[in-house]
Structure 1
Amino acid sequence: MSLLERLNQDMKKAMKNKERDNLSVIRMVKSSLQNEGYKLGRQELTDDEALTVLSRELKQRKDSYQEFKNAGRDDLADKLVSEIALIETYMPRQLSDEELKSIVIQTISDVNASSKADMGKVMSALMPKVKGKADGGRVNAIVQQHLS
């Protein structure tokens, strides 16, 4: 089942169960996917493109959550926690630290990186492998740890 079909099913279920908050988030995500399709000039997005849109939506909410927390707006931050949790259900399973470390080590050896000067080379080879499965900040920290 495609992501759009799954979103449509979940949207119908949220409507039936009168889950307004979930319905709102699902509609926003669905709208973002459709807007990306319009930008690219086609109806259907590939799984990779849909994953990019989902990752962007998730990152925006995580950034907003942090800003609200810093500003003392716990009411808005709490709302974002539920939105983040809902969007994460559509994301692929996240890599554990051990899995991520092994991929990082393998990639470092593949590109023959030896210092932090090779960071860009490592990250450009690594990010397509872990796209949607690990947060970029987490990946960056592990790469820096292994290149120092």
Structure 2
Amino acid sequence: MNFTERINQDIKNAMLAKEKERLAALRDIKSKLLLEATSGGSGEVSEEAANKIVLKLHKQRMDTYHLYVEQNRSDLADEELFQAKVIEEYLPKMMSDDEIRQVIAAKIAEIGASGPQDMGKVMGPVNGQLAGKADGKRVSELVKEALANL
């Protein structure tokens, strides 16, 4: 079962169980998948593209949640957090810090980086390799740490 089929099946299950909040999050995922499928022309969404969409939706929900918490709007914050948790179920498995460090060390050795001034040279290839497998912010922190220790 591919990603789109899984979402469609979960939408049906949520409709049958009358889970309105869960249904809203699933429909948002499906909407973004359909937009991606029609914009490419092929009508299909690759697994990698689907993962990027889900990561983006999750990040948006969490950013909105934090904004609502800052503004003391707990009613809206709770809804965003619930939807983020639903979307989390579809996130790809993230790499651990140790796995990320190994990739970074290999790229630093490959590129021949010598310090923090080479941050841009390292980040581009590392981000390309870890896209959808690790949080970009965390990767950036680990690259800075690795380059500072050279």
- When the two structures are superposed, what TM-score results if normalisation uses the length of structure 2? 0.91
Per the alignment, residue 140 of structure 1 pairs with 140
Give the 3-state SS of the residue equivalent to 1:114 in structure 2: coil
The aligned counterpart of 1:63 is 63
User: Aligned residue for 1:5?
Assistant: 5
Let me know the Cα RMSD of the aligned residues. 1.4
Q: Which deviates more, 26-35 or 130-139?
A: 130-139
Q: Aligned partner of 2:36: which letter?
A: E
Correspondence 1:36-55 to 2 at 5 A = 36-55=36-55
Deviations 1:60-102 (A, max 9, x none): 1121122112222222222222211111111111112222222
Equivalent residue letter for 2:68: F
Aligned AA (2:6): R
Aligned-partner Cα distance in 2 for 1:26–1:51 = 14
Tell me the distance in 1 between the aligned counterparts of 2:129 and 2:73: 36
Distance 1:95 1:119 in 2: 21
Amino acid at match of 1:116: P
2:4 is matched by which residue type in structure 1?
L
> 3-state DSSP class of the match of 2:45?
coil
Cα distance in 1 for partners of 2:121, 2:58 equals: 26
CA distance in 2, matches of 1:56, 1:86: 14
* Deviation of the 1:41 alpha carbon: 2.1
Uncovered stretches (5+) of structure 2, i.e. residues with no partner: none
Q: 1:116: Cα distance to partner?
A: 2.1
Q: Which position in structure 1 is the counterpart of 2:28?
A: 28
Scaled by the length of structure 1, what TM-score is found?
0.92
Runs of 4+ in 1 over 6 A off after TM superposition: none
How far did 1:29 drift? Answer: 0.6
Alpha-carbon distance between aligned partners in 2 of 1:144 and 1:9, rounded to the nearest angstrom? 42
Q: 1:96: which partner in 2?
A: 96
Segments of structure 1 that go 5 or more residues without pairing to the other structure are none
Q: 1 CA distance for matches of 2:76 and 2:52?
A: 25
Write the distance in 2 (CA, Å) between the matches of 1:77 and 1:55. Answer: 19
Aligned to 2:108: 108
For residues 10 and 48 of structure 1, what CA distance do their matches in structure 2 show?
20
% same residue? 37
Tell me, in whole angstroms, the C-alpha distance in 1 between the residues paired with 2:58 and 2:44. Answer: 21
